[in-house]
Amino acid sequence: MRLDLACFLTGLTGTGLFIAGCSVPTSTTTLAGGTVPVRLGMSPAIARAGESVIVSVTSPNADSIQLRSANGLDRYSEAGPALRVSLDGDFGDHEPQSRFAVRSHGRLLNVIRKPFDLYVCHDQVCRAYSHELLVRLPEKNRRKLAVTGGWSTAFTTRAIRGSDQPVSRRGGTRSEWNLQAELASGPVNARLQGFAGPDWRGASLDVSRELKHGEGMSYGLAVHLEGIQAEWDPAAKISALGKGMVYSASVGPAIMLRGITASSQLGIYTDGRGVMQQLSTFISINGALTEVRLPVTVTLDRTIAFGDQAPMSRRQEQLQRLTIAWEFLPSLAFRLGVAASRSSWPSGAQTSDLHASEAAYSLGAQYTFGW
């Protein structure tokens, strides 16, 4: 059983970008009419921070057209009757810089105006026109703590296979409650999460601490602690699949932004019968706590635990999980989850090993309180 979570995430993201890009507001301005018309088009009419605006200037029979920032730092020119350039939010700046909207007397001031001059030449006679580039600034996210509670229904399929056991397949649904608290303050990103269902419950803690601040991102150390209790089919009467807690702990380097953490870790995994080595990858994007608030939260983690004979140990545990929450109303989000797990236990010859696998798809909703 194999789930390609990366492809699933890419496809979902691409769909969102397609929908967002279906409608782009544009503006057209006539700077001069008569026998020597000059028309200016901008798409989009107002740029968001980090985006570019396509500026097109046309004037029939023009010798040349030049666009120049008000301070003369940025200049673009083209011979002929048309000029087409791409301008971003750093147009006219000496160096790139981050800007945020500010509030004054209860009003949000979130548009910055960047003037520029146009020079249109006909028969060696040039005329000057003035216009401006509008850039919409994001508002800085003041939240540091977010608490989220939700409910979802999971659709599961399970399979058990062994030499002395016939292949057993089982499907069904289960309801699950989840609660999590996330913190993004200064050099620390942290997430405490708990979930509970009729045959699946557990809790986890992820803490990332910044050690070195870099350009655009920080580097630090991440720690993961988790305990899960999963009950398989009691009718199978297989001791290895009995009801019990498993625990894992891992640590590793992390790349951090405010509300965003990516980490690869090494650790240990135990189910009470023995201790195994663990490799894990963890990516978390909490839209409620990012520097500019996003309507999307994404958590992706992949873990593999193996016995002493790595990397070909016959005792293995694998787990992949992807959770996406899309905020369609303020603080209220639609929640989608995909999870796949696989376990194997040695039993005499390799051909008689016991294997168990599960796939789960969940749909639900969650509500977030932020401070």
CATH topology of domain 141-370: Porin (2.40.160)
Per-residue pLDDT of the chain (371 residues; tens, 9 = 90+): 333 434 444 444 443 433 334 456 888 999 998 888 999 999 999 988 778 999 999 999 999 999 999 999 999 999 999 999 999 888 988 887 778 888 888 888 899 999 999 999 998 899 999 999 999 998 888 889 999 999 999 998 888 776 555 566 777 888 989 999 999 988 899 999 999 988 778 999 999 999 988 766 889 999 999 998 877 654 445 555 556 788 999 999 999 988 899 999 999 998 777 788 999 999 999 998 998 889 999 999 999 988 755 455 677 889 999 999 999 998 999 999 999 988 887 766 656 677 888 899 999 999 999 88
CA 247 → CA 268, 279, 318, 321, distances in Å?
Answer: 8, 14, 14, 17
Place of tokens 């020597």: 36
Do 25-136 and 141-370 have matching folds? no
Q: 3-state DSSP call for residue 239?
A: helix
What does the block give as tokens for 323?
């959770």
Place of tokens 């201790």: 275
Smallest CA-to-CA distance from 90 within 109, 71, 108, 64 is with 71
Q: Which helix (H) or strand (E) holds 288?
A: none
Edge-to-edge order in the sheet of strand 38-43:
27-32, 38-43, 52-58, 82-88
Domain ranges of the chain: 25-136, 141-370
What does the block give as tokens for 317?
């545990």
What does the block give as tokens for 88?
């971003």
Distance (Å, whole) CA 109 – CA 106: 10
Q: 3-state DSSP call for residue 5?
A: helix
CA 139 → CA 107, 108, 136, distances in Å?
Answer: 12, 8, 10
CATH ID of 25-136, from 2.60.40.10, 3.40.50.300, 3.40.50.720, 1.10.1760.20: 2.60.40.10
CA 250 → CA 8, 224, 276, 316, distances in Å?
Answer: 26, 5, 12, 17
Q: What are the backbone angles phi and psi of residue 106, rounded to the nearest 5°?
A: 80, 0
